[in-house]
Structure 1
Amino acid sequence: MENGSNIARRRKSALSDGSADYKLKRDEIVKAASRLFRERGYKSTTLAHVAEVAGVDRATVYYYVGSKEELFREAVQDLVNKNAAKAQRIFKSKELDAGQKLVQLVEALMCSYEEHYPHMYVYIQEEMHQVDGDTSEWALAMSRHTRRWETIFMKLVEEGMAEGILRSDIPASISVNALFGMLNWTHRWFKPGGKRGAKEIAAGFCEIFFNGMNPQPVRQKAKTD
């Protein structure tokens, strides 16, 4: 216990000092943990696994992070904040209409999944469904982030309906859930460096969404003999 307390005090002091070398090594450990969470699953990954992949011993891991949960939260928190800020900038743009904003948001989120792989996928795969029942500060922050995205998408879809660029006979909530469903399901099959990049996938999703939400869809005529 005393040794653990000493490590905790040293970790707290090192975090406060903000050394560039300390931050760099901590980031390396977080990245190693993220890969393992993705490959093995959060529950099956231990700090011993993280230490092995990061090339350090377990005691060293504790010098940089206090727990596996902290590793997971560190992996997604910074990315979540950056995504939220970018979403707000797109949403508040005066130069784009509702449809253009939706396109940019879909691309921004998909590109974030690619650039920061696998951080957000770890969250989607392991913890997203549990956040609603968690009252910790981190879980509440993550819930607020999710609601912001949902609110932005909902407002833009409703705006598009009001402007006549999106059909209004389908409830906005169904349309928004369809978009999130396409984006979040990519955690099952998307990996950077594959045949399709994030921008191409985002463009395909937008084609599917906007064609389906076209107020005057092009319908194929049934062939007759």
Structure 2
Amino acid sequence: MGVSCAKMMKDKILQQSIALFEKNGFSETSIQDIVNMLGVTKGTFYYYFTSKEQLLMQIHLQYIDNILEQQRRIIDHSDKSWKEKLFDVVYMLIHQIESHGASARIFFRELINVKGDFLNEILAKRDQFRFNFQYLIEQGIANGEFRDDLPADMMTFAVLGACNWSYMWFKPEGPVPDNEVACIFVEVFLNGMKK
């Protein structure tokens, strides 16, 4: 099997698994369900993945590696203020639900099914995302763009908590587009709800 054919099959397994995990949940989806939907054998599955858990870890890694890279590019952008970078990261997180909705939902919903070394690797990357975000806030504080009377770690948890939970309710086809959701979030984060 050529390299491109092998990559195509691996991608097909990943995409079909994402669809099934989103619809039925990780625990309720069997390897047999996955191969049945693809019309291949279990041997094909095991050629690419040692287990369903490794497959789930791959889905998590693809998602977190993608948002870590986007976050890094945003933070490293030298021509933007820290407020602009805050908006860009918030927008990126909301937009991921639109562009990678199933993967986003699996990333947040199915972490409970990631175990052992797989879990440690995913948690380390999630922590890195949080530390990077806290760095963004700390730089905004140091630059006088954000208030300095609140702890940066608590601001980080508040913003990420709101963004991460949006996978439960944000509907890309709904009346409020991702850009507007990001604008509302940033307005609340920076200026609160007080009149």
- TM-score (norm. length: structure 1): 0.75
Match of 1:65 in 2: 49
The offset of 1:130, in angstroms, is 7.1
Structure 2: 5+ residue stretches without partners: none
Matched residue, 2:153: 173
Contact 1:107–1:202 at 8 Å: present in 2 too?
A: yes
Amino acid at match of 1:181: G
Alpha-carbon shift at residue 72 of structure 1 (Å) = 1.2
Q: How far apart are the structure 2 equivalents of 1:26 and 1:184?
A: 28
Count of matched residue positions in the alignment of Structure 1 and Structure 2: 195
Does residue 94 (structure 1) correspond to residue 78 (structure 2)? The answer is yes
Contact 1:98–1:157 (Cα < 8 Å) also in 2? yes
Partner of 1:189: 169
Asked which structure has the greater RCO (Cα within 8 Å, sep 6+), the reply is: 2
Task: For residue 117 of structure 1, report the CA deviation from its aligned partner.
Answer: 2.4
State the shift of 1:93 in Å: 1.9
- What aligned pairs does 1:124-163 form with structure 2 within 5 A after superposition? 124-127=108-111, 135-136=116-117, 138-163=118-143
**In 1, are the aligned partners of 2:16 and 2:34 still within 8 Å (CA)?**
yes
Residue of structure 1 aligned with 2:40, choices 56, 59, 63:
56
Counterpart residue identity of residue 148, structure 2: S
- Report SS of the residue matched to 1:106: helix
| 1:30 and 2:14 correspond | yes
Distance 2:28 2:102 in 1: 16
Over the aligned positions, Cα root-mean-square deviation in angstroms equals: 2.4
Contact 2:26–2:113 (Cα < 8 Å) also in 1: no
